[in-house]
Chains A and B, each alone.
Chain A
Amino acid sequence: MIVTPLFSAFLIIIMGWFKKSLCYPLMIIALSVSTFSSFANLESVLSHGTLHYHLGNWQPPWGIEYVIDHLNAFVCVIVSGISLLIGISSKRMVEKEFPEKTVYFYCLFILQVTGLLGIVVTGDMFNLYVFLEIASLAGYTLIAIGEDGAPFASFNYMIYGTIGACFYLLGVGYLYIVTGSLNMADLSKILPSFHNSTVVLIAFAFFAVGVAVKMALFPLHVWLPDAYTYAPSSVSSLVAPLTTKVGAYVLIRVMYTVFSPSFSLQVIPAGTLLCWVAAVAVLFGCILALAQTDLKRMLTYVLIAEMGYIALGAGLGNRNGLTGALLHILNDALMMACLFLIIGAITYKGWPRKIDQLTGLHRKMPVTMAAFVISGLSVIGIPPTCGFFSKWYLVLGAIDAKQWVLAAVLLISSLLNAILFFRVIEKAYFKPVPEDSHGGQDKIMAIDEAPLSMLIPVLLLVGGILLLGILSGKIISKVIQFAIPASL
């Protein structure tokens, strides 16, 4: 599942020398293979339990092991599924924005996906670092292809990202000195005896900070708005929903699998600290989003707020909170992918990105705007979209933990989100009409919708948002329940 994208990345480059038009199909094939295999993995995990794969047949803990358990499989499916959808839709956008570099784009795209999938699947701490860097490097480059401010934004991202990755590496190093092992499962057995050691505490701190950079958790989020705003639309649709979520996955892995839950929550008040930081992130993201005039930048701040939700759920440390966090990884990936794709479609059709200039958009691109409305409703948390259900669990978790302030923060942020999205919806749907006219008949304006290859992924995502909301009960009982450590 990882190997396919990796090899096809190289294949694409080679293919690019010969025949340019073959690159796109090749990429789609590779991504489809990934997606199917991740679904297959999920199936087998659900029926048989955790999968282990030993690289080069070296037994752990000496060799590198790939472990797929419920948490992994779940995130895998998300990552590969969404990359497939975005891959499909990227074709038009890429051709419009930088026609001479399409080959490199596809190659980097797939490399990025490789990296992300690798992070998710691996059971070895250092291997995770390697894949982390692969994904990050591909990301830096992809972002830099974009418009004006992109190289600079990417440079900034690179500085921050490298600091984050290096902190992570330091954490791995500290753990290695103390335990002599790099394998996650092994570490979780060895670590409990070291709970009071300073080294382990520091390691945890390094991990937390490193991952927080990748996750764009306040206050280490500074790179995100610039990087994602200036990136080309196809890139931001891929990177925005996925990279940060995978970062969140790493956080949950580290907190709950490697360091057992009792350590993370009781020995250090990591959970509490995380919760409060996350709450600030949520509010901060929402409020700053209100101040934006550019639609894409507004969405990046919404993304920061969404990551805050996930971190909040992770930090709450009870079943409901963690369920909410995991469910939100899925939901947010869907929502953000959909929203960024929509922006891509809007930009592709030549519309400016300033919110004030979006008047009357719904007449020209009705389907796209309808999708925007539904995704917006999901971010706000209105049933029956999926966003409501993850918020439900998060609020339940907060109530369970008797953290009324956190619950209030969650609810207030929903209202703030409502203001955000309805502002855009108003602009796009309603044209201000002078007071005394009774309105004329609708002029049938030419509908200038986005091309089909972009619409279909959007529609699929929207369908997902609506369906997965109702089906969230099933998802939780089959998958997420097992992904949560039993001691919670």
Chain B
Amino acid sequence: MNKKESLNRVEIIIGKYNYWAYILLMMIGFYAMIGKKNLVKKLIGMNIFQTSIILYFISTGSKKGATIPIVEQVPGEAARAIEAIQYINPVPHVLMLTAIVVMVSTFGVALALLLMIYRKYQTLEEDEILRLRK
């Protein structure tokens, strides 16, 4: 009984390695956002956080042995039947493209903000800024 349980557990850890990877990344990003004092580090943490989510999404779309979801169409030939199982799910890819765009624009805005903050306070450390503001 014990052996079976522990085997099960190992299965969970190894089998779903993609999820663990993304959780790890997310935690790193999260910690950086909250725990670090330097604003740039926070920003990078945010980036890591968002990237981990993108990774997660895409990983959910993958299937064993499937290939890229582009249908090869020879011009002039009639449309062939497509077996969905052979192609990895394109929907998460599409969604993530959008998410990447969002991420990049957020990053851009954030950098602009950081520039403004730096011009004003000459520092990018959170505690120093708080002190300067008092």
Contact = CB atoms under 8 A, between A and B. Distances in A.
**Touch between chains A and B, by CB atoms below 8 Å:** yes
Contact of A137 (B39, B105, B121, B133): B105
Contacts of A126: 95, 98
Interface residues on B, range: 20 to 34
Contacts of B117: 151-152, 155
Contact of A140 (B33, B91, B113, B121): B113
Interface in A138-152: 140-141, 144, 148-149, 151-152
B25 to A, nearest CB: 12
A370 interface: no
A101 to B, nearest CB: 13
A170 interface: yes
Interface string B100-122: 00100110011011101100110
A162 B113 contact: no
A182 B94 CA distance: 13
B109 A163 contact: no
Of listed B92, B98, B106, residue having the most chain A CB within 10 A? B106
B129 A130 contact: no
Determine chain A's interface SS by DSSP, over half rule: helix
B87 interface: no
Contacts of B57: 173
Contacts of A177: 60
A38 interface: no
A409 interface: no
Nearest to B39: A155
A165 to B, nearest CB: 8
B49 A173 contact: no
B49 A163 contact: yes
Q: Which of A163, A166, A176 has the most CB of B within 10 A?
A: A166
Given A133-B102, A152-B129, A155-B114, A173 B109 contact: no
Interface in A238-274: none
Given A137-B105, A151-B116, A162 B39 contact: no
A444 B50 CA distance: 61
12 contacts: A130-B98, A151-B116, A151-B117, A151-B120, A158-B46, A158-B106, A158-B110, A159-B42, A162-B46, A162-B50, A173-B57, A173-B92
